[in-house]
Amino acid sequence: MAIAFLMLAKSFKASSSRTAAVSGHEDGDVEICLSRKPEDRFVVHSVVLALNSSFFKAGLSSRWVNDNHGSAHDGKIRRRYQLRFDEGGDSTDDLNLLTRATAEAVHVAEKPGLDIDTAAIFTAYAPWIPQDNTKTSARKKIIEAHRQYLNLVHHTPLAIESSKFKYVVDSIHHLVCVADAYDSLSVVSMPVENFLIRHHRSDIKRLCNVDCKKLLNIVMKIRSGWLLKEIVCRIIGDPLWGDQDIERKFGNSDAAELLRSKRAELRDMLSHIDQRVLLLPQLPQAKKTVRVRDQRTISLATAAFRNEINHVFNSHRKDDWASYARKYRLLKQRTLSDIGWQYPRQRWFDRLYSKFGAPSKISREGFAIVFQSLQKRTAEIIQPLFDCVVKPPSVKEASCRGFLCINVTDDDLPWKEERLGESACMEKSMSSDDET
């Protein structure tokens, strides 16, 4: 949409008559100067800024309504605004700048030269920026984050010159804070995720396998919806993560609330999984009897369900990086009823479920095949759901996969405005050395 309106804005300039960016508003550009360097001078059409950010839209709208002056040239109304930031306030902490700054689009006359100092977001002698090394370093970080943000507004791909994942996370965090302050997270979300997938896939995979909590903290820091969905699915589905682990590691955080709700969703999904998966062949009408849910039926149904999920997901792997959304879509395409009818034709199924057999007589190898993706604590999750006892395989025989059929929608994201309330991304210092 932003691209379409950028093209629309250019067509306004080519018009031979008086133009209007928005009905009743004058056409105009906004100049943002981050420094005296020519490459730090950004000219963005007012329509583009207003569409991408309600923060800028509010500042520009008052100028559109109240300022009726412009310079006529070749039958067109050419307007140009500088973006000035209020440097007032009692606080002298430049790291708190974005939470207290207000922007005003100021119309300037067409004239040679530009008074950079009046248009710059940061000036060399601004009284509210102490000139010590620490503050100067923080100031540079904020300026760089603005530079990245404005480049993305211009549809320039994100570029962070570092191979160190920690530095990349910090840089993205600063960028996200700037975008959040301007109410335009949508501008940075997809470029950030594309950058991470392209350049730091191995780092993310390593953390997924080694330290889920650390990765989740990073996800909350950079507000990646895609990564959040991936990591929530892994934590929820991994039998090694119990409710008590979620409480201990995440407390009452927004992430913990999401994890608890999705764990409850999983329990609901599994509450009658044996009835939905294990569909036995229909008996003749005269021989029909009501089959009682017993331990073997429940154990078998759960194992069959788990085995099929792994089969569906693994058969569609691509470079060992199948996304959550793709996995969930594949699972939805294959109904549970279809899954159930396939298993009576499997040899291991017949060996496990036989009216002449019993769980104690099943071979160790046969049991390991059925529960190949379950870990030793699976029983702790399954038993409360079905009020039964499930024998798990040994840790050596189990692979590290969990249920991956949890539906996390965009409305569930913890950093949604209605969930976060008044908490701002800039509450924490950008220069803090928190663990990433």
Q: Provide the residue-wise pLDDT of the chain in tens; the chain has 436 residues.
A: 333 333 334 333 333 332 333 333 345 677 676 666 677 777 777 778 778 877 777 666 655 545 444 444 444 444 555 554 444 444 444 434 433 344 444 444 443 443 433 333 433 333 333 344 444 566 677 778 888 888 888 888 888 887 788 899 999 998 888 888 778 888 888 899 888 888 888 888 888 777 777 888 888 888 888 888 777 777 765 545 667 777 777 777 777 888 888 777 766 655 555 444 443 334 344 444 444 445 555 555 555 555 555 554 455 454 444 454 444 444 444 433 344 444 444 443 444 334 333 333 434 443 344 334 333 333 444 444 444 444 443 434 333 333 334 456 677 777 765 444 444 443 443 344 444 4
Q: Phi, psi at residue 45, to the nearest 5°?
A: -65, 145
pTM higher than 0.85 = no
Tell me, yes or no, whether 369 lies in a domain.
Answer: yes
The β-bridge partners of 156 are none
What pLDDT is recorded for position 427? 42
Tell me, yes or no, whether 66 lies in a domain.
Answer: yes
Tell me, yes or no, whether 312 lies in a domain.
Answer: yes
Q: What angle do CA 231, 233, 235 make, to 5 degrees?
A: 70
Number of domains in the chain: 2
Tell me, yes or no, whether 254 lies in a domain.
Answer: no
Q: How far is CA 411 from CA 19, 114, 249, 407, in A?
A: 39, 45, 24, 11
Hey, is 159 helix, strand or coil?
coil
| Cβ–Cβ < 8 Å for 403, 237 | yes
Both tokens of 431, joined, read 């220069």
Both tokens of 304, joined, read 């069959």
| Cβ–Cβ < 8 Å for 208, 174 | no
- DSSP-derived letter for residue 58 is H
CA–CA distance, 351 with 29 (Å, rounded to integer): 74
CA–CA distance, 188 with 180 (Å, rounded to integer): 10
Tell me, yes or no, whether 275 lies in a domain.
Answer: yes
Cα within 13 Å of Cα(131), Cβ side:
5
The domain of 311 spans 268-282+292-397
> Last residue of a domain, which of 108, 127, 146?
127
Alpha helices in 38-163 (DSSP H): 46-52, 54-66, 97-100, 116-119, 133-153
> Last residue of a domain, which of 107, 127, 147?
127
Hey, is 72 helix, strand or coil?
strand
> Last residue of a domain, which of 79, 99, 127?
127
Tell me, yes or no, whether 382 lies in a domain.
Answer: yes
3-state helix, strand, coil in the chain (%, to 5): 55, 5, 35
| Cβ–Cβ < 8 Å for 48, 42 | no
Both tokens of 342, joined, read 């396939």
Tell me, yes or no, whether 137 lies in a domain.
Answer: no
Tell me, yes or no, whether 108 lies in a domain.
Answer: yes
| Cβ–Cβ < 8 Å for 407, 233 | no
CA–CA distance, 150 with 40 (Å, rounded to integer): 9
